[in-house]
Each structure stands twice: as C-alpha cells, then as structure tokens.
C-alpha cells in the first residue's frame, strides 16, 4: 500500500498495535499523542509521558555522547535510523557538522569494512547474482514504493578502500542519508541498493561472518548482462527515478556511465559529482588567488575515472572561459603511478588517452628516467593547482610541495583521496610547508589547522556538496536526464556560495551547517539547466523555486489517522 508521506495533512495509516512501532518511516516512539495511542492500540506499549521530537532528540544526543569510538557512534545512529527515521534526521539536523563524519566519510568506510560484523537490521535491497531470475520481485519487495532516488554500488571500489563486497552497502545508505539531511529529499523516496556479484577480497571470502555471496566476482560478460537486467528492472518499476552509480571499479564506472546516461536519469557520483564539486571549489579558489580557472596550470596525481572526470570538467569550464580545446588540455596534466601521461604511452584506457600531453610539450624537460615523475612535472610545468585522487597516502611530499610553492605564491592544493587514511598529505603539513600560503581543500573532513597563531579552516571538497542539490533539482524539475550543463551549473552555483567570494580570508567552501541552503541554490540552477537542455518541462522561475521548496522535506512528525486497508 502506498502512503502519502509527503503532504502536511494527517497521514492515514492502515496499521495498528506493536507493528506500527516497527516501521522506521512511521514510528514516532514516545511522541505518539494520547489520541493516537488510543486510536492505534498503542496504550501500554510506551511509557506514560508523551514527548516532543526535541525531547527525544535530546535523549538520543546524550546517549550518543556516551560512545567513545566513532564506529560505535555510527552503529548507534544507524540504529535510530532503522527504528525511527524522522528522529534520526532530526538529530542530524541539530548536529550536522558533528555527525557528518560519523554517518559519512570517514567512519562510513570503517562501517563498510566491518559491515557483516556490525550488522543489525536490513536496509535497502541486496540484489545477488545467484538470485538474478528474481530482480523484478526484489524491487517489488522494497520497503519503499514511490522511489525517486536510488544509489547503487557493486562494492568493488569503496572509497579508497577497494573491494568490500556487500560491505559496500554502507555507502549507498550514507549517501542517501545526506540526500535527506542536506538536500531535503524525503527518506520515503530513497532506496539504497547493492549488486552482489561476489568479491575478490580474500579476507571476506575467508570470513565466516561475511554475509554476501561467497564467490569471486563474476566475469565481464555475466556482469554486463546482470547490470543490464537490473537497469531494465529499475526502469520498469520506477521509470523516472534518479539512479546514482557509486564506487564502481574504474574498469566499469566509465563504460556503465557511457552506456546508460542517455537511457535513464543517472549519473556517476565519483566521476561527475566529484568533478562538479572540484570545479566549483577551483572556480572559487581561483577567484581568491586572483586569476581565472583558465589561467591555472593543473596537475593531477591519479588518472583513474575520478581524476579524469574532474580533468574533463575543468577543460569544459576553461573552454567556457575562452580557451580552445587544445589550449585547455595543455593546462591539465595527469600523473599516475607510471608518471606523466604523454602521447608516447600505450595501453592507456580511452578516457586517459584523451588527456595525454604531446611530446613536444615536455621536450627539454630534464627527468631522471624515461618516465616523468610528479616532482619532474612540478619542477618544469610550475603548476598553480595540485589535485590528489590517487587513493595512496603521503604522495604529496614535502619536497614536491616546497618545489611547487617556489614558483607559485598561493598554491591551490587538493588532496581528495578518501577516507582520511588515504589522504595525499595532511592539511597541517601543507600549511607548514607553504608557510600558510596554500589554499587547501580535502576530500575527507579535517579540523581547522592552527599555525603560527593563525587558524586555517579546511574546506571539504567532497561530492556531498553537490549530489543532494542535484537530486533536489531533478525531483523539483522532473528532469529525465543528467546533462553536463546541469553539472556545470551545479559547480557554478557552489562557487557562488563560497565564503571566499566576499571574504578573502574565509574558507573556500561554505560551512557544512549551511549546506541545506547551498543545496537549494544548486537545485534551482540544476533545474534551470535541465529546462534549458530540454530534459525538463518548461516552467517559470517562480514555479521552479516553489517546487524546490515544496520538495524539501523536514523531519517533523505528522498527525496520524486510522484507515482500513
């Protein structure tokens, strides 16, 4: 039965008695009023006092503070989510800045690693390869009926942690929690999904508690057919839902995106979401450093699908500022573990081959060996921006950073690898090696750095700034596809929200506490871009802004009335 979760009117509910306390979307716990307790046969099932959501949130917060370990805090909050979703989002709303690293990066990484150990209750849909005949049924069985946003992973590249099998489910759950907490998407509309196609993680295969399919990952052909089955089933069940691909391995991420982006409303968060937030951050940081993005020289460490996705989006943005395609590509250099990508290299993936430097661009560079190292590139190309998407900790060494700073008074340095354990350099080191001059944005959260009695806030350049607003914009506009122009408008909207725009000493990105407002602004721009791209219906500016507001869910209890099924 489909319930009208969305409107502010009373909600008519066909269940009564203890079962009503078992639906996380409906449960109010001690906040059921006396009338509701009478009407729904709840008398005696709850302590006498009728509480407000504020009182419940206060108790939850006190309990939360008793936990010393972040993973225990995570388990505690997830437990509230699985018993009373409204209360969960109320606690998040009250303490977003503090709990974001607990429900999301970095603690969510630990939760994925320990998924089968800390497992309590089912959430979302597990679609396993041995059950492939029943995908349709599995989607029918989902606890949510009117799904508008799906986040799906196959668990093969979870953050920088690699193959975690079904442990990857923690990521769609965490991402969707942010869709609601930051982007106001009602939790009744969101569905996390994991595709269980086995795992090549031997530790998991050997672990007697591992809850996924204990089998090596299936081959390419079976995999592609399975994903196709899944996508077709989603399209039949929820033809207009937004589907976010998350944490797929490099070999699948780009091909799946290319294959499906024109067939349904979908995007890849690691490629496109990360690119959109990085470009937004760079536009804002470039403004602060005194020259436009098209005048920066940008070096990437890491040439996977995320790095190349960001690079392409930067090139698009540079071209919109007036550069030719070739000029823009000369300004963006990719370095991977084998060195700078040049046209001499063979065996590159197609999305890497588009980003090689022509040999003549590096003719005359003195390098220690055949391959051109990051240090060589920094020495000769004199970048103004250094971006880390390598998944390897510590690769931005003191020598490299000092060399960069010798040629660039205000270097923009973005070690984006997640979680915290994979960061290319810590903000504290970067500040000290550049004498406080670096403009820094990291992928995982870092506390402000105090150096020589000055406090430096550290921006978190994480796709969490982008995807909730994109989702809200898509729902509000009814967009049928996710176009590049929608992503670019999200980047620009984010840059316009940068505190640096008005305060040269401010952080590059807005405070997390302001993220709901940022998401609204991104949503409006995304909706407008969708309309311009012809993938959403015409509507007035006022109607769009109103639709964004109308779709913004806030965690408050609604009044319940009883109805029969």
Binding partner of residue 254 among ligand OAA, Mg ion, none, CB cut-off 5 to 8 Å per kind: none
CA contacts within 13 A on the Cβ side of 563: 11
Counted residue by residue, the chain has a size of 565
Annotated binding-site residue? 270 = yes
What's the distance, Cα to Cα, between the start and end of the chain in Å?
A: 8
d(CA 48, CA 340): 68
d(CA 434, CA 556): 47
Residue pair 268/248 in contact (Cβ under 8 Å)? The answer is: yes
Decide whether 247 or 403 has the Cβ nearer to Mg ion: 247
Decide whether 443 or 507 has the Cβ nearer to ligand OAA: 443
Decide whether 104 or 351 has the Cβ nearer to ligand OAA: 104
> Helices 70-83 and 53-66, interaxial angle, to 10°?
150
DSSP 8-state symbol, 158: B
d(CA 123, CA 193): 9
Residue with tokens 């890491």: 302
Catalytic one of 175, 223, 260, 456:
175
- In degrees, rounded to 5, the angle at the alpha carbon of residue 382 between the alpha carbons of residues 362 and 296 is 105
Nearest Cα to Cα of residue 73 among 55, 53, 52, 91: 91
**Longest Cα pair distance anywhere in the chain, in angstroms?**
84
DSSP 8-state symbol, 436: T
How far apart are CB 123 and ligand OAA at their closest, in Å? 18
Annotated binding-site residue? 462 = no
Binding partner of residue 385 among Mg ion, ligand OAA, none, CB cut-off 5 to 8 Å per kind: none
User: Can residue 312 be called a binding residue for Mg ion (CB under 5 A)?
Assistant: no
Q: How many residues bind Mg ion (CB under 5 A)?
A: 3
How far apart are CB 444 and ligand OAA at their closest, in Å? 7
Helices of type H across 341-433: 350-353, 359-362, 374-381, 398-407, 427-433
Binding partner of residue 107 among ligand OAA, Mg ion, none, CB cut-off 5 to 8 Å per kind: none
**Residue number with the smallest Cβ distance to ligand OAA:** 105
Catalytic one of 15, 89, 104, 260:
104
Decide whether 145 or 421 has the Cβ nearer to Mg ion: 421
Written as one string, the DSSP assignment of 203-229 is HHHH-TT--S--SPPPPHHHHHHHHHH
Chain residues binding ligand OAA by CB under 6 A are 105, 159, 247, 269-270, 418, 443, 462-463
How far apart are CB 391 and ligand OAA at their closest, in Å? 9
Annotated binding-site residue? 496 = no
Nearest Cα to Cα of residue 388 among 275, 301, 285: 301
Binding partner of residue 418 among ligand OAA, Mg ion, none, CB cut-off 5 to 8 Å per kind: ligand OAA
Say if strands 125-128 and 190-196 run parallel, antiparallel, or are unpaired. parallel
d(CA 486, CA 529): 5
Give the pair of three-digit tokens for residue 446. Answer: 């870092």
Between residue 237 and residue 276, which ones bind Mg ion under the rule CB under 5 A?
246-247, 270
How far apart are CB 54 and ligand OAA at their closest, in Å? 30
Annotated binding-site residue? 217 = no
How far apart are CB 518 and ligand OAA at their closest, in Å? 17
Decide whether 272 or 489 has the Cβ nearer to ligand OAA: 272
SS3 at position 299:
strand
Decide whether 42 or 158 has the Cβ nearer to Mg ion: 158
Annotated binding-site residue? 157 = yes
How far apart are CB 81 and ligand OAA at their closest, in Å? 18
Decide whether 36 or 247 has the Cβ nearer to ligand OAA: 247
Decide whether 73 or 331 has the Cβ nearer to ligand OAA: 73
DSSP 8-state symbol, 356: P
How far apart are CB 31 and ligand OAA at their closest, in Å? 32
d(CA 512, CA 478): 27
**439 phi/psi in degrees, rounded to 5:** -95, 120
DSSP H/E element including 415: strand 412-415
How far apart are CB 127 and Mg ion at their closest, in Å? 19
Binding partner of residue 551 among Mg ion, ligand OAA, none, CB cut-off 5 to 8 Å per kind: none
d(CA 551, CA 34): 30
104 is catalytic: yes
How far apart are CB 478 and Mg ion at their closest, in Å? 26
Decide whether 463 or 551 has the Cβ nearer to ligand OAA: 463
Binding partner of residue 26 among ligand OAA, Mg ion, none, CB cut-off 5 to 8 Å per kind: none
Helices of type H across 434-533: 467-477, 484-496, 515-532
Written as one string, the DSSP assignment of 57-92 is HHHHHHHHHH--SHHHHHHHHHHHHHH-HHHHHHHH
Residue pair 460/445 in contact (Cβ under 8 Å)? The answer is: yes
Binding partner of residue 462 among Mg ion, ligand OAA, none, CB cut-off 5 to 8 Å per kind: ligand OAA
68 is catalytic: no
> Helices 398-407 and 374-381, interaxial angle, to 10°?
10
**Catalytic positions:** 104, 175
Interacting residue ranges for Mg ion, rule: CB under 5 A: 246-247, 270
Annotated binding site for NAD(+): 157, 270, 418
Binding residues for a divalent metal cation: 246-247, 270
- List the binding residues: 157, 246-247, 270, 418
């Amino acid at each position: 039965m489909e319930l009208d979760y969305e409107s502010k009117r009373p909600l008519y509910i066909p269940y009564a008695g203890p079962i009503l306390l078992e639906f996380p979307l409906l449960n109010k716990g001690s906040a059921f009023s006396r009338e509701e307790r009478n009407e729904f046969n709840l008398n005696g099932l709850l302590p006498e006092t009728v509480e407000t959501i504020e009182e419940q949130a206060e108790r939850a917060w006190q309990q939360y503070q008793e936990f010393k370990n972040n993973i225990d805090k995570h388990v505690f909050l997830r437990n509230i989510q699985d018993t009373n979703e409204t209360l969960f989002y109320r606690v998040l709303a009250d303490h977003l800045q503090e709990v974001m690293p607990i429900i999301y990066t970095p603690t969510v990484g630990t939760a994925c690693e320990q998924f089968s150990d800390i497992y309590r209750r089912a959430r979302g849909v597990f679609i396993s390869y041995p059950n492939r005949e029943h995908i349709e049924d599995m989607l029918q069985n989902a606890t949510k009926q009117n799904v508008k946003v799906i986040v799906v992973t196959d668990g093969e590249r979870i953050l920088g942690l690699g193959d975690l099998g079904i442990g990857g489910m923690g990521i769609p759950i965490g991402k969707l929690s942010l869709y609601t907490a930051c982007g106001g998407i009602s939790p009744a509309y969101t569905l996390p999904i994991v595709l269980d196609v086995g795992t090549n993680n031997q530790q998991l295969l050997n672990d007697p508690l591992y809850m996924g399919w204990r089998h090596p990952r299936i081959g390419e052909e079976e995999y592609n057919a399975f994903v196709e089955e899944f996508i077709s089933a989603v399209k039949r069940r929820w033809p207009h839902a937004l589907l976010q691909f998350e944490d797929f391995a490099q070999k699948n991420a780009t091909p799946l995106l290319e294959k499906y982006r024109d067939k349904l409303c979908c995007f890849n968060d690691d490629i496109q979401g990360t690119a959109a937030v990085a470009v937004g951050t760079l536009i804002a940081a470039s403004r602060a450093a005194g020259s436009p993005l098209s005048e920066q020289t940008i070096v990437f460490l890491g040439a996977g699908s995320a790095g190349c996705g960001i690079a392409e989006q930067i090139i698009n943005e540079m071209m919109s500022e007036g550069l030719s395609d070739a000029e823009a590509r000369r300004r963006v250099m990719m370095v991977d573990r084998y060195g700078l990508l040049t046209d001499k290299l063979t065996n590159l993936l197609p999305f890497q081959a588009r980003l090689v430097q022509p040999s003549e661009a590096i003719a005359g560079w003195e390098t220690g060996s055949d391959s051109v190292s990051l240090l060589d590139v920094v020495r000769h190309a004199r970048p103004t921006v250094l971006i880390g998407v390598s998944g390897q900790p510590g690769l931005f060494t003191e020598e490299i950073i000092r060399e960069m700073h010798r040629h660039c008074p205000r270097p923009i340095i973005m070690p984006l690898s997640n979680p915290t354990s994979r960061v290319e350099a810590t903000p504290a080191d970067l500040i000290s090696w550049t004498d406080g001059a670096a403009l820094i944005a990291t992928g995982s959260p870092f506390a402000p750095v105090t150096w020589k009695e000055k406090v430096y806030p550290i921006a978190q350049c994480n796709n969490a700034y982008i995807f909730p607003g994109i989702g809200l914009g898509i729902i509000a506009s009814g967009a049928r596809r996710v176009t590049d122009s929608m992503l670019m408008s999200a980047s620009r909207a984010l840059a316009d929200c940068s505190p640096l725009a008005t305060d040269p000493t401010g952080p590059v990105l807005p405070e997390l506490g302001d993220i709901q407002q940022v998401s609204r602004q991104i949503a409006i721009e995304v909706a407008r871009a969708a309309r311009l791209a012809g993938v959403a219906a015409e509507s007035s500016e006022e109607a769009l802004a109103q639709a964004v507001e109308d779709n913004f869910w806030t965690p408050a209890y609604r009044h319940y009335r009883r109805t029969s099924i």
